Amino acid sequence: MHKTTKNLAILGSTGSIGTQTLEVLEALENKELFNVVSMSCGNNIELFIEQVKKFNPEKVCISNPAKEKELKSIFPKLEIFSGDDGLIELASDKSLDIMLTGTSGYVGLKPTIKALENGVDIALANKETLVMAGDIVTETAKRHNAKILPVDSEHSAILQSSAGRFDTLNKIIITASGGPFLNKTKDEIFHATGADALKHPRWNMGKKITIDSATLMNKGLEVIEAHHLFNLPYEKIEVVIHPESLVHSAVEFKDGSIVAQIGLPSMHIPIQYALCYPNRETGIKSNSFNFIGQKLTFDKPDFEKFPCLKMAYEAGKAGGTMPVVLNAANEVCVYKFLNGKIGIKELIKTVEYELEHHNLIKNPTLEEIFETDKEIRAKLQ
Ligand code: MN
């Protein structure tokens, strides 16, 4: 008999992607589609307790082991794990069909690989996984016949537009809103403050990703992800500035035909598509885009004003540990910038310097990847 209910693990259920994933599950008309087997959370224990009551998982993982007792007293039958090892425990569950990785940072990487090794599909909302270890992750997925289904709006648009037929693609076109600095001069950008950078015109997101959107580093990281997800060389990945953020990305097939995905900005739709792929289920429905009276504009990105995008292409092309350096140096600098310690100019110069002075490891092991990441962070802290 064909199995219709998928066993689902949700890593990072109290975060922005996690909470929206639960909203998707609640909205699905067919309640038999998913069974939430396990969930994990960071520090928002109050919200997590609500979620566990509602979704009734068998196992959970919390980052802080001190909270285990509190949870146990409320849910005596619940299996409770904690810390990074706990996440690996959840990810090693052979009963899983799909795991949503909504944790931020590198903590999602090891559990993702673990799940892929069991042939579990991944709904991926974590950038670091493919930026840091794209070759290892995609290789593992291939070997175990597991799918990596992107939750990011651009990559979801490419998956939707291509319907999964990556072999038929000539190139992909990733759109970028351009962020709050789009119409600023290079000088204004380089001297901008955290408050300037946090005014994103289209999307409401966390602080780190909002800064990355202002420098276009976010787009650069997405280019690296796209290279791994869709198995395309960097020459075939084009970034186009599209301030309206209505075309979420597009694909050009080998016959020259282009298909784009259009919709009002929403994270629910990419989440729902990743979970239900290749089906489209009745659940959350995006507000309809109205063609009448719309003006869609497209422009090429300015690499002079946004050197982060250029650095990301170069780090991606160099491969190996270079994207690890890019990601780690950028992340440390973004938090320094948010704390008012450095400006955008210094952020760019620092990342540039680290890339130029890095001794590239061409085919790194997972240990070498973590080692490189640690080294850069320790150095720049
Ligand atoms: Mn995105």
Ligand 1 centre distance from Cα of residue 154 (Å): 5
Report residue 341 as tokens. Answer: 């310690």
β-bridge mates for residue 60, sequence order: 39, 80
Split at pLDDT 50, 70, 90, the class of 189 is: very high
Ligand 1 centre distance from Cα of residue 1 (Å): 38
Q: What tens digit of pLDDT does each residue of 332-364 get?
A: 999 999 999 999 999 999 999 999 999 999 999
Q: Is the pLDDT of residue 368 over 60?
A: yes
Ligand 1 centre distance from Cα of residue 194 (Å): 20
Ligand 1 centre distance from Cα of residue 69 (Å): 38
Ligand 1 centre distance from Cα of residue 125 (Å): 10
Q: What tens digit of pLDDT does each residue of 216-267 get?
A: 999 999 999 999 999 999 999 999 999 999 999 999 999 999 999 999 999 9
> How far is Cα 229 from Cα 166, in angstroms, rounded to an integer?
9
Q: How many CA atoms within 13 Å lie on the side-chain side of 324?
A: 29
> How far is Cα 242 from Cα 33, in angstroms, rounded to an integer?
36
Strand 148-150 to strand 79-82: parallel, antiparallel, or no bridges (unpaired)? unpaired
Q: Is the pLDDT of residue 1 over 50?
A: no
